[in-house]
């Protein structure tokens, strides 16, 4: 980690990522709470979650190519400015039509679909492939702290100042991130610039897709990724129902529970950056998914015995650890095999799959929760995580190994170092 923290460009991106992710968590927590409190409808809440995910599917070809073809720092600044403009209509506060909230969330998601692959590819550009494991671990730590700050702030702001307060908090965090990214990076790693390509956008995206699907080992990972995405999408809707109806809590309680998952995630992030760097990334993904499913089932079913908020604060802290391990394992497993000049396209495709599965899970949960009740669907959500872990363990049986250094993979004839390396 010392080597990474000695790279000024990475440190600046790391700090900017904290404020950018804090802003995102403010919206992610506040908007579903606002809609459920305003409409009382899980369907409306699920639709808002889906609209926040589907643009990543539709814009995946463009987002990946943009991340690979243009200066990634400039892309991040431009997207941040666009996100600030798109959210301004919500400053109207009281009486904002639900349709306008949907439109804003769709616009935010469309811009985020460009932001995420560009930022993650920029990490690889700044530190080089040899330091990706530590970099991903540190970014996970960063994300956990941002989740704690943004999740708590989102719940408090929507309960205290409505959408007006939420937007002001969001714009403040986003502005700090943009200022940190405004100055060009100097003295960066071995891939200091992204070479422009004359290949058409869709054809260029297909090149990245072939790199992703051409690896035989990723097929089992692909199935597990879809399952994890569906479980996460269900969680985003069911969590709101669980806190407000099952636990009889309020918006601030929901923000607190989403935020404290970051405390367990902090320890997991440091572990990924240090101890777990010698473990195969897909193994982290498998066991992280299994542990998330088992702990989720414990949390959901404990409500039959007690609804004491303090107990759930502790449990949500614990469950944050395997969630971070799962995310870090997935990202490292996929990104470690991607050539730097195609990393944006590979990542945008993965994010598209995650978004599609998440949208499906959110819509499914929103439509069924009034029919089955939250208890049944919460157990299904936990079971899907367990199934994903079992799929990975079955697909990887006899193929994983522990070694003294990074795992080595081959992609299109190139020998690359693969660094061994999502809420419930």
| CATH number of the CATH domain containing 130 | 1.20.1250.20
Which residue in 299, 245, 228 sits closest to 42, CA to CA? 245
The CA-CA-CA angle for residues 243, 248, 253, to 5°, reads 50
Question: 338, 329 in Cβ contact below 8 A?
Answer: no
In a domain, 194, yes or no: no
The CA-CA-CA angle for residues 309, 313, 314, to 5°, reads 120
Write down the residue that tokens 């560009």 correspond to. Answer: 118
Average pLDDT over residues 110-120: 79
Question: 358, 35 in Cβ contact below 8 A?
Answer: no
**Cα 19 to Cα 113: distance, rounded to the nearest angstrom:** 18
Q: Please spell the DSSP secondary structure of 166-223, one letter per residue.
A: HHHHHHHHHHHHHHHHHSPP-S--S--SPPP--S-HHHHHHHHHHHHHT-TTHHHHHH
215 sits in the region (left: phi over 0; alpha: psi -120 to 50; else beta) called: beta
Q: What totals of helices (H) and strands (E) does the chain contain, helices first? A: 15, 2
In a domain, 424, yes or no: no
Question: 34, 242 in Cβ contact below 8 A?
Answer: no
Split into its structural domains, the chain has a count of 1
Average pLDDT over residues 309-329: 84
Q: Which residue has the higher pLDDT, 116 or 347?
A: 116
**Cα 216 to Cα 87: distance, rounded to the nearest angstrom:** 42
In a domain, 423, yes or no: no
pTM equals 0.64
pLDDT exceeds 80 at position 407: no
In a domain, 323, yes or no: yes
Average pLDDT over residues 10-21: 87
Reported as a single tens digit per residue, the pLDDT across 151-175 is 778 888 887 777 888 889 999 999 9
The CA-CA-CA angle for residues 119, 223, 25, to 5°, reads 35
Question: 86, 137 in Cβ contact below 8 A?
Answer: no
Q: Tell me the CA distances in angstroms from 350 to 58, 212, 357, 420, one per residue in order.
A: 13, 9, 11, 18
* Confidence (pLDDT) at 408: 30
In a domain, 96, yes or no: yes
In a domain, 284, yes or no: yes
In a domain, 134, yes or no: yes
**Cα 285 to Cα 321: distance, rounded to the nearest angstrom:** 12
Q: Tell me the CA distances in angstroms from 158 to 50, 102, 198, 316, 401, one per residue in order.
A: 20, 16, 46, 21, 48
Which residue in 254, 288, 293, 290 sits closest to 269, CA to CA? 288
**Residue 284 — very low, low, confident or very high, per pLDDT cuts 50/70/90?**
confident
3-state secondary structure (DSSP) of residue 40: coil
pLDDT exceeds 90 at position 300: yes
Question: 225, 350 in Cβ contact below 8 A?
Answer: yes
For 177, the domain range is: 2-188+199-418
Listed range (98-102, 104-108, 241-245, 278-282) with the worst mean pLDDT? 278-282
In a domain, 258, yes or no: yes
């Amino acid at each position: 980690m010392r080597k990474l923290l000695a790279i000024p460009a990475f440190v600046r991106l790391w700090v900017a990522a904290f404020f950018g992710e804090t802003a995102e968590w403010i919206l992610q927590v506040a908007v579903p709470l606002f809609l459920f409190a305003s409409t009382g409808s899980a369907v409306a809440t699920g639709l808002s979650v889906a609209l926040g995910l589907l643009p990543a599917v539709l814009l995946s070809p463009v987002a990946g190519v943009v991340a690979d073809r243009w200066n990634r720092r400039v892309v991040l600044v431009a997207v941040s400015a666009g996100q600030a403009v798109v959210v301004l209509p919500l400053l109207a506060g009281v009486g904002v039509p639900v349709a306008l909230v949907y439109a804003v969330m769709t616009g935010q998601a469309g811009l985020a679909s460009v932001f995420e692959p560009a930022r993650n590819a920029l990490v690889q550009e700044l530190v080089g492939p040899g330091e990706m494991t530590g970099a991903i671990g540190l970014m996970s730590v960063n994300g956990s702290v941002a989740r704690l700050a943004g999740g708590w702030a989102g719940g408090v702001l929507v309960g205290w100042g409505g959408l007006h307060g939420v937007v002001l908090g969001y714009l403040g965090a986003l502005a700090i991130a943009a200022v940190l990214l405004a100055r060009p990076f100097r003295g960066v790693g071995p891939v200091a610039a992204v070479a422009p390509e004359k290949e058409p956008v869709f054809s260029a995206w297909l090149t990245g897709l072939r790199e992703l699907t051409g690896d035989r080992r990723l097929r089992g990972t692909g199935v597990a990724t879809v399952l994890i995405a569906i479980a996460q999408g269900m969680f985003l809707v069911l969590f709101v129902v669980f806190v407000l109806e099952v636990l009889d809590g309020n918006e601030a309680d929901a923000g607190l529970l989403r935020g404290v998952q970051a405390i367990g995630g902090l320890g997991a992030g440091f572990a990924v950056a240090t101890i777990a760097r010698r473990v195969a990334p897909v193994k982290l993904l498998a066991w992280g998914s299994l542990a998330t499913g088992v702990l989720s089932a414990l949390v959901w079913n404990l409500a039959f015995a007690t609804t004491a908020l303090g107990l759930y604060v502790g449990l949500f802290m614990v469950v944050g650890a395997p969630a971070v391990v799962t995310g870090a394992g997935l990202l490292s497993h996929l990104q470690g095999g991607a050539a730097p000049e195609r990393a944006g396209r590979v990542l945008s495709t993965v994010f598209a799959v995650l978004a599609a599965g998440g949208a499906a899970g959110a819509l499914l949960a929103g439509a069924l929760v009034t029919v089955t009740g939250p208890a049944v669907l919460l157990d299904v959500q936990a079971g899907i995580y367990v199934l994903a872990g079992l799929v990975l363990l079955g697909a990887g049986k006899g193929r994983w190994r522990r070694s003294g250094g990074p795992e080595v993979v081959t992609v299109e004839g190139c020998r690359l170092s693969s660094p061994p390396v999502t809420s419930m």
